[in-house]
Structure 1
């Protein structure tokens, strides 16, 4: 285990320690860290940007979690016995997950474009006026959430599909004999037996959602008037550390985000252990 532990210490633990130290320092334009104590943290907590960025990040994370029930339903359809071209459908769903996030953001940015986007063109057929998808505050977050759900759907389906194939078909057959509908089978058999896979996807979705950056950076853009109203925690970190060149405050944001993710993950594990004891 020693080579693995050395690699973890060099590439994971030491950078975290360095970043934690830098959060108590102030950096000049040409480098040189000066210890300033809690000044960065006080400025960060007093800033109005942090609460808004955190709310935006949590809202996006919540939308990603909404994608898990959708994934369960789609995965159950793809695992129906006798479904033709099931492997082809899985490839189609999985393709967005392995695509470059920048490319996905560019394509969806064109789809959501208020002037020539195909979505507004489609809505115009029904007489619905054009929607400013990426330049209206909360609408932009919803648009980004839709892209996030779409791009993560394939990975969720693969994980849930593996769990579905481990469920004995005899359980569904017995339920059908007892008169259970397809919906009842989904609620009473599929979802409870998929709880380990659902928990795994929930943890990953929370971590992935809290790290939102690329979709906002490309779809919203730096010149957008709602940029500051839709930024995430990572966007705020990027702006402080690399645009404003305030690397001390940027390090503080990174540590704060790590602590928030750690707390959310710990809560999820605690809830899962409690559910396991009750079961």
Structure 2
């Protein structure tokens, strides 16, 4: 065996034929647009952003190197930590609630009920609707004077509430909109994972006397673990990056602006309202590092969970 391997190692490699070379050229041509797009719109801006974070960049993109000054300012800026607290609160509340609702609805859609395709479409529609349109509709629903919500409360004998201008309720109202938009998308992913589980597991469990609830917790949830982790990671990332719904629903003159401002909103405000692009770049890298740390912790937790089972 050792002699054969030695002979194989000394054997000259076959040259690629003309047809193989043509295939390679065609493959490179096909991937060139995507590769160029990644380089121009993702990779180059990412490294440029890192460079900007160590500079004082004015509105004309003229940069002056300042070293770690932006990062020192970031960690001592109370507004950054206030915004980060709002982002963290959004993630801590919406991610578990959204995951629970998505699994629950996916389990219902996986059962034998009439009109499943209609229900799936209805649940999935909010996730493919433009965020700006969704935000404007919900903004009118929450309107203090003419909103449907306050109108219904007053018709029932209650008193209306300033849902989007009250610091105590504004962020929670936005969380509800976020859940309404994302639950359907996550439900489709989890439903696909459930339908990939072999029916033989459930048949064997039914023969052993396991009921639907036992089958769900002993078969569905363990077998769905990789899909659950995928949904969990993507939900946390999107939760930290929430911007559009808050930007559309909460104006700069809103009394609850500071209590709903997330880190991404602060980044936008520093970059485009104030023109502090270097400081905004440092904030964006701070968000990136936080998301990467959370993702790595989740991946380590997933490996331990799988190994434990």
**TM-score, normalised relative to structure 2:** 0.84
When structure 1 is superposed on structure 2, of 122-131 and 152-161 the one drifting more is 122-131
Instruction: Confirm or deny that 1:217 pairs with 2:283.
Output: no
Q: What displacement does 1:41 show?
A: 1.4
* Corresponding residue for residue 82 of structure 2: 52
1:44-67 Cα offsets, whole Å, 9 max, x none, are 211111111111111112233121
Separation in 2 of the partners of 1:156 and 1:270? 22
Match of 2:295 among 228, 251, 265: 265
Q: Name the CA distance, whole Å, in 1 between partners of 2:148 and 2:211.
A: 39
Query: 1:237 pairs with 267, 272, 280, which one?
Result: 267
Structure-to-structure mapping, 1:112-131, within 5 angstroms? 112-131=142-161
Q: Which residue of 69, 91, 94 maps to 2:100?
A: 69
After superposition, the Cα gap between the structure-2 partners of 1:43 and 1:192, relative to the gap in structure 1 and judged at 3 Å, is: same
CA distance in 2, matches of 1:244, 1:226: 20
Tell me if structure 1 keeps the 8 A contact 2:50–2:285.
Answer: yes
Separation in 1, partners of 2:202, 2:254: 52
CA apart distance, 1:179: 4.5
| Larger CA deviation: 65-74 vs 4-13 | 4-13
Q: CA deviation at 1:215?
A: 0.9
Distance 2:257 2:149 in 1: 22
The structural deviation recorded for 1:176 is: 4.1
- Offset of residue 228 of structure 1: 1.7
Gaps of 5+ in 1: none
The question of whether the paired residues in 2 share the 8 Å contact of 1:61 and 1:206 is answered with yes
CA deviations on 1:57-95 (whole Å, 9 max, x unpaired) are 1111223312111111111111112x2221121111111
Mean CA deviation greater in 11-20 or 172-181: 172-181
For 1:5 and 1:276, locate their aligned partners in 2 and report how far apart those are by CA, in whole Å: 35
Consecutive unaligned residues of structure 2, counting only runs of 5 or more, are 1-26
Aligned residues: 278
Q: Is the 8 A contact 2:171 2:259 kept in 1?
A: no
Task: Please say if residues 63 and 149 of structure 1, whose CA atoms lie closer than 8 Å, have aligned partners that are also in contact.
Answer: no
1:78 touches 1:86 (CA, 8 Å); kept in 2?
A: yes
- Secondary structure of the 2:62 match is strand
Question: Deviation per CA, 1:21-63, whole angstroms, max 9, x where unpaired?
Answer: 1011112343311111111111121111111111111111223
SS at match of 1:215: helix
Secondary structure in structure 1 of the residue aligned to 2:255: coil
Q: Classify the secondary structure of the residue corresponding to 2:169.
A: helix
Asked if the contact 2:74–2:80 (Cα under 8 Å) also holds between the matched residues in 1, the reply is: yes
Q: Which residue of 1 aligns with 2:199?
A: 169
Q: Is contact 1:23–1:251 with CA below 8 Å preserved after alignment?
A: yes
Q: Give RMSD over aligned pairs.
A: 1.8
Report the TM-score when normalising by structure 1: 0.93
SS at match of 2:227: helix
Q: Which residue of 1 aligns with 2:122?
A: 92
- 1:142 is aligned to 2:172: yes
Q: Distance in 1 between matches of 2:264 and 2:71?
A: 16
